[in-house]
Amino acid sequence: MAAIKAEAVPYRDAFRANPAEPAWLVDARAKSLAAFGERGFPSRRDEAWRFTSTRPLAENFFVPVRRDLAVTANEDTDFGKLGFEGPAYRLVFANGIVRALPSKLPPGLWLGSMSQAISERPEAAEFAISEIDLGGTQPFASLNAALFADGFVFDLDEGVALDRPIEIVHLGKSALPTSIYLRNSVRIGAGSEATVIETYVGQGAYWDNVVTNIAVAEGASLTHIKLQDESREAVHFASARISLGWSARYRNFGLTLGANLSRNDIQVLLGKGAHANIAGAYLQRGDQDTTNAVVIDHAEPDATTQELFKGVLDERSHGAFLGTIRVREGAQKTDAKQTSRALLLSDRASVNIKPELAIFADDVKCTHGAAVGDLDKDALFYLRARGIGVDEARRMLIEAFLLETIDTIESPEVREHLARQVRRWLAAEKA
Amino acid sequence: MSDVAQALVKEGYKYGFITEIDEDRAPAGLNENVIRFISTKKGEPQWLLEWRLGAFRRWQRMQEPKWANVHFAPIDYQAASYYSAPKQKATPKSIDEVDPELLKTYAKLGIPLHERAALAGVAVDAVFDSVSVATTFKDKLGELGIIFCSFGEAVREYGDLVRQYLGSVVPQGDNFYAALNSAVFSDGSFVYVPPGVRCPMELSTYFRINAAKTGQFERTLVIADRGAYVSYLEGCTAPQRDENQLHAAVVELVALEDAQIKYSTVQNWYPGDAEGKGGIYNFVTKRGACRGARSKISWTQVETGSAITWKYPGCILEGDDTVGEFYSVAVTNNHQQADTGTKMIHLGRNTRSTVISKGISAGKGQNTYRGLVRVQPNAANARNYTQCDSLLIGQKCGAHTVPYIEVRNPMARVEHEATTSKISEEQMFYCRSRGLSQEDALSLIVNGFCKEVLKELPMEFAVEAQKLLSVSLEGSVG
């Protein structure tokens, strides 16, 4: 047996094989656990984790939540202000276990929990744990494969345009450090259209470890929104792997407000003529720390990508953006654009940006731009000259700075929903 | 590929000749005795020998860096000889005593060593394999108090200055190759410009690797005292050999209050043949410190040679209101690999830096820009602008951009832009329809792409650099 890293030992010991699970899953869990044990936590010496400290995780053992653990979160009151107000097919998870399912679903849509899918829809469950370790850079995805208790499964048949978004709400609540593992699967059939809104909220010290596998078939379109407003003591790591078929369209927007330490890993593999639009805004204060790491992989010709990330960092917070655009040999006519900007509002805030291009084809257009700075003094002066107080003027400018990322979303209701969260954060400034 | 292009590819590297000359060399291998041998050969003081040994002991505990985007077979550091010098009867008192074979070599390279070539107006220190063979215009510079001599001579004549600044910008154990250089460096150039003096001519070093199975490890130290100005040029070539040769140099620049240093490099080491056989491994550490307020350091480099380039000339902007600049053109054709860029470390207030990098990949070349812009908490009002553009010629090459931006001060403004493009058919067609040949059209477009960098070079160098760019890219279209 290979050596196991010290920090992995309690997690290995917490693992209980479930004989009721199918053999392939038992096997996959064992292999993933061994892989994690060998690899341990990533450190700053790992290029992909250079700017993300895993110290909060190393200091405590976060006891993995099991299906049989009692959950006390009250799903109605705890996320009231964060829920999407329009009609939606809603799925609620409390500490990583499904609590509420939508009652009525339209034809062509399968929406349920992972625990249910393992027996009823094994191919969706298998898809969710396929290609688990993303090139050795994501040991936490291996840990997730070993320990996940539940998650959501969303399958949409060919040629269906959903009339309302799918809303997935995650509530975390814990007095002691616990770790929550969600494994999700999304498969959108050819020519279909859908929107998924994920919301994370909670209280206490817990660690959400989320892995989502997404496949968007040819000509289909998926809008994927994520609002992360976890407890300020929480750790939130989410890793999504998306593959886009011929001419498929994928739009991802993430709003990061909460958690003490958070990280979004997004990996997109584009097929011929596919389009990806990846955007995000991160607003941090106190000693919050967040990383967005996006890898765009242009494997085939004619695909396009747009990326836009903006950060506002106050007090002692830290933000990082790592964006890689890879264009493989033969992926001609690729057009990829990446922009990353950050505002530092305090002397002690800091930011790291690493935009990276790796290009192996000649007939491509790839650009990246990055900028870090303070608010535009001329704009501030302009507003103040019109009698607007300095705090209000600053808020207006920050809001305008951030809303550009939200403007990439098509639905006005979703845009308004997110803009409201941004305003709420800004109103709490200096509170 | 067209016939014309094929023919041009074969033209190849015109500096690939070998000079037959007697040499003094150390036995192959690297250990403390070899370092003592080098130190004794050069008649060095005890402190320098100890400094070398300290570096060697650190080097033994270090690992070769693996993070760069370059691939090569492991280097056997024990197989090379670490000292090779052309045999001379005694140190030449004037240029007329230098071995005529050597002078012929430099004549072939177009280096105006002879003072009679004074019209060229460039003071040259020529380094052949491991030692400096001639320094021109010494007297004239001496009148102004400017010291420009070989490193070995500086150690003998100006030991205190060397001791004060050696390793103050690139410490002994800075990185694997810098530590190796600190242990075995054989010669190089030393420049000191006294306060308030503006050096009236370009100072230049010409490096030439000649001997087989040796590496070249030179060390350059340039100090511009308060209010001084100096422009320094560096050029390099090597014979065409099937084996890979290692070149691990260290360059340290120190600019005190109000001083300015302009450092330009045209690097044309042998790049290997079209199949990627042979060529120089160019693993160089270059760094400048803007110690005093309002000082400025500017790096300009045109990198067309070497099988592998690993080099990140940087500026440490310590003083308030200091300025760092980096202008680079890097070309990789055939199997060449380059991982190059800069580091701008902003420590002082109102520090400014500009980075312009142009990478050109052709054939199976792999070209990486890797850069760091770091703004530390005290660097209020720091400003950086970075632009890195890549040009791809052909479908088998690669262009990569890996910038790091680290900001810890809210008043900083850091901007970074990168683009990747190819030579468009429209551009080609436009030039061709005006009667330009394919090769001339390519050369014109590439020179236009690099214009922002080439204009930073002193004139004599700019002309050479433009020619080099054309030669390096011959045969890459068609």
Q: Do A369 and B404 touch (CB under 8 A)?
A: no
Q: Is B414 on the interface with A (CB under 8 A)?
A: yes
Q: Looking at residue A280, what is its pLDDT?
A: 97
End-to-end CA gap in chain B? 5
Q: What is the pLDDT of residue B7?
A: 38
Of chain A residues 278-337, which have a CB less than 8 A from chain B? 329-330
Residue A315 inside a domain? The answer is no
What is the tally of structural domains in chain A?
2
Across residues A19-47, what is the average pLDDT? Answer: 89
- Asked which of A243, A270, A297 is the last residue of a domain, the reply is A270
What is the interface pTM, i.e. ipTM, of the complex? Answer: 0.84
> Would the CB atoms of B408 and A355 count as touching at under 8 Å?
no
CB contact under 8 A, A367 and B417: yes
pLDDT at A307 over 90: yes
B416 → closest Cβ in A330, A364, A369:
A369
Q: Does A378 touch chain B (CB under 8 A)?
A: no
- Asked if B394 lies within 8 A of A362 by C-beta distance, the reply is yes
A323 pairs with which residues across the strands? A294, A355
Pairwise pLDDT comparison (A229 vs A68), residue with the higher score: A229
% of chain B at pLDDT higher than 70: 80
Compute the distance between CA of residue B307 and CA of residue B72 in angstroms, rounded to an integer: 10
The pLDDT value recorded for residue A19 is 85
The residue among B397, B238, B165 whose CA lies nearest residue A362 is B397
Classify residue A59: in a domain, yes or no.
yes
The shortest CB-CB distance from B411 to any of A360, A364, A374 is to A374
CA distance A145 to A54: 19
**In which band, very low, low, confident or very high, does the pLDDT at A388 lie, cut at 50, 70 and 90?**
very high
- A382 and A262 within one domain: no
- Give the whole-number percent of chain B exceeding pLDDT 90: 45
Please determine, for residue B104, whether its predicted confidence score (pLDDT) is greater than 70: no
A362 found inside a domain: no
| A-proximal residues of B, 359-378, CB under 8 Å | 375, 377
Gap from A430 CA to chain B (nearest CA, Å): 17
Is some CB atom of chain A closer than 8 A to the CB atom of B428? Answer: no
> If you average pLDDT over residues B181-204, what whole number do you get?
90
Interchain proximity A357–B418, CB inside 8 Å: yes
Residue written as token pair 């400003």: B383
SS3 B306: coil
Pick the more confident residue, A114 or B26. A114
Find all residues with CB under 8 Å of B148, minimum gap 6, and list them: B123, B125, B135, B137, B138, B141, B189, B190, B191, B203
Q: How far is CA A291 from the centre of its chain?
A: 10
Pick the last residue of a domain from A270, A288, A313. A270
Q: Which residue on chain A is closest to B368 by alpha carbon? A: A358
**Under an 8 A CB cutoff, do B420 and A344 touch?**
no
Domain of A392 in residue numbering reads as: 376-431
B4 pLDDT more than 50: no
pLDDT tens digits for range A374-384: 888 899 999 99
Assess B402–A contact: CB distance below 8 Å, yes or no: yes
* Domain-embedded: residue A132: yes
Read off the pLDDT of each residue in B359-364 and give the average, rounded to a whole number: 90
Cβ within 8 Å, pair A354-B407:
no
- In the DSSP assignment, the letter for residue B86 is E
Q: Is B70 on the interface with A (CB under 8 A)?
A: no
Is residue A357 in a domain?
Answer: no
Contacts for B98-103: CB closer than 8 Å, 24+ residues apart: B98/B133, B98/B134, B99/B21, B99/B133, B101/B19, B101/B20, B101/B21, B102/B19, B102/B21, B102/B128, B102/B133, B102/B134
pTM over 0.90: no
Residue A327 lies in a domain: no
Checking if the pLDDT of B120 tops 50, the result is: no
B393 in reach of chain A (CB within 8 A): yes
User: Is A381 found in the same domain as A243?
Assistant: no
Taking the C-alpha atoms of residue A289 and residue B249, their distance in angstroms, rounded to an integer, is 40
pLDDT bucket at B210, cuts 50 / 70 / 90: low
pLDDT computed for residue A230 by the predictor: 94
What are the CA-CA distances from residue B452 to residues A226, B354, B362, B455 (Å)? 43, 12, 20, 6
Which of B404, B413, B425 best tests the A interface by mutation, with the highest count of A CBs <10 A?
A: B404
SS in 3 state form for B133-201?
A: EEECCHHHHHHCCCEEEEHHHHHHHCHHHHHHHCCCCCCCCCCHHHHHHHHHCCECEEEEECCCCECCC
CB contact under 8 A, A344 and B409: yes
Segment A149-162 shows an average pLDDT of 96
Q: How confident is the model at residue B253 (pLDDT cuts 50, 70, 90)?
A: very high
Chain B residue with Cα closest to A370: B416
Name which of B337, B370, B401, B428 to mutate to probe chain A: the one with the most chain A Cβ atoms within 10 A of its Cβ: B401
Q: Is the dihedral of CA A18, A19, A24, A26 positive or negative?
A: positive
Determine which of A326, A367, A372, A378 to mutate to test the interface with B (most B C-beta atoms within 10 Å).
A372
B228 close contact with A: CB closer than 8 A? no
Residue recorded with tokens 């994370």: A200
For Cα atoms A92, A143, A269, give the angle at the middle one, nearest 5 degrees: 80
How high is the mean pLDDT of chain B? Answer: 83
Of A135-149, A189-203, A326-340, least confident by mean pLDDT is A135-149
| A280 or B216: which leads in pLDDT | A280
Where is the domain boundary, A215, A235, A270?
A: A270
Q: Is residue A134 part of a domain?
A: yes
- Cβ atoms B350, B321 nearer than 8 A: yes
**Residues in chain B closer than 8 A to A361 (CB atoms):** 392, 395
**Distance in angstroms (rounded) separating the CA atoms of residues A251 and A239:** 16
pLDDT mean over A149-164: 95
